Structure formats: structure tokens, C-alpha cells
Amino acid sequence: MTALNLLCLPYSGASAMVYSRWRRKLPTWLQVRPVELPGRGARIAEPLHTDMQALARQLAAEQRLAASTPYALLGHSLGALLAFELAHELQALGCPAPLALFACGTAAPTRREDYDGKNWREPKSDAELIGELRELQGTPEEVLANAELMSLTLPTLRADFLLCGTYAYRQRPALQCPLHVLGGMQDRASDEQLQAWRKETHGAFSLQMFPGGHFFIHEHEDLVLAALTASLQPLRLSA
């Protein structure tokens, strides 16, 4: 039976290990491969990136072997933009297209107006970053109040916000793979901003909404994983 690699890009402030628990819930043919970014986890000694294009280019070179076998890309929030850029960079290297791209929890690359309006182009202070985390409602209050833990987390988070804030959309030929968008009903991205992902591919497009806010992928994890499996099962059989 054909195995399929699911390359998972981490979201703001989260390590690649966030996706690791998915392995015990997903079918064995779907191999979850969290992508570790420079400056975190086992790569803590490497400098953090604040340039999305440079980061995607580096990751493409590192993931070239994984992309030589059937694979799909998934990213949430910042990770969705990074997965999108990675798909283009892998294509530029001559790699096969992913069987699918899953963009979760963020507006399309051409519809970033609400995000740009938050002035993420400049480094945020510690207080501003903690305020952003509190607004996203994905971090327990006791964690936000832990000064020692925050001192370890905030430099990575600051770099991630700069990755988003300085992101510049580049006009390129649309991708050829199916593009599936997953959104939270109470998240900040509007239906129009999510639908705008449609123009980024010549392949099939779908938009599926889930209960919850920005972190619906954790709040309703089983529903999300069922949707991933349903989308990838027929693609895996035809790979």
C-alpha cells in the first residue's frame, strides 16, 4: 500500500512537535513529518528567520528528498503561508508537485490587509506579543504569566510575527495541486479572505469551516484529522 508523507509546517510560537500526536490518530499510510524550523527544537543553535522567501528556499533544499516520494503539505496560520511558499520553491527545484496543499487558519496571500493593519512589520515588545497571544486565545493564562517561560518563547514568537508582517506576495504561475482551506468559524479571517486562496491553484479547491477560533485544529482535532484523511485517501490510491 502506498505511503504518503504529510509535511507539517509549524505555526507561530509552536515547535514542529505540535503535530507529533497526530501520528497515533491518523492511518499508518499517512506519515506525519513535522518540519523543524531553524532556531527551535533540535535546531535551537541556528539563527531565527524573519524572511519568508529565504526560509522557504532553505526548507525546500532540506525537504527535497522527502518531496521525491508522494507527499502533501500542511500549515496552520504562519505555517500555511510557509507551506504555500515551500510548494513554489520545491517546484522551482524541479520536484514533483504535492498531492495536496492544506492551508489552515489564515487569509490568502493576496488578502493580508487585516494582518498588515496590525503593524507586524516592526518588532513587537514583550507586552505586545503577550497581548497578541491572549487575543488568539490559544495559550493558557498561567503560561502567559510565567516570566521565565515567556522569556524563552518570546524571541521565537517575535521572529514569527516579523515573518508574517514582512511577507510580500509574489505573482507566479498558479500551483497545479488541489488546495484545501480549513478555517475556524470564530477566527479573524473572513470568508472572502479564505476564498481568495482559490486563485492560487489550477487544481481542485475546497473550503471547510470548523467550530472554534484560531486554534480550531486543536479544539476540534478529530474533525480536522478526519477531513485530512478523507481528502488524501483517494489521492494516495492514485499516486
Separation CA 37–CA 214 (nearest Å): 21
CA within 13 Å, CB half, 178: 15
In DSSP terms, 210 is beta-bridged to 184
Active-site residue 68, yes or no? no
Residue 165: how many other CB atoms lie within 10 Å = 18
Which is catalytic among the residues 12, 15, 68, 77?
77
| Residues 6+ positions from 153 with CB-CB distance below 8 Å | 13
Terminal Cα distance for the chain, rounded: 11
Give the separation between CA 10 and CA 22, rounded to whole angstroms: 13
Beta strands in 101-168 (DSSP E): 101-104
- Rounded to an integer, what distance in angstroms lies between the CA atom of residue 45 and that of residue 143? 24
Contact of 209 with 122, CB cutoff 8 Å: no
Contacts of 217 (CB under 8 A, 6+ apart): 76, 104, 105, 182, 210, 224
Question: Which of the residues are catalytic?
Answer: 77
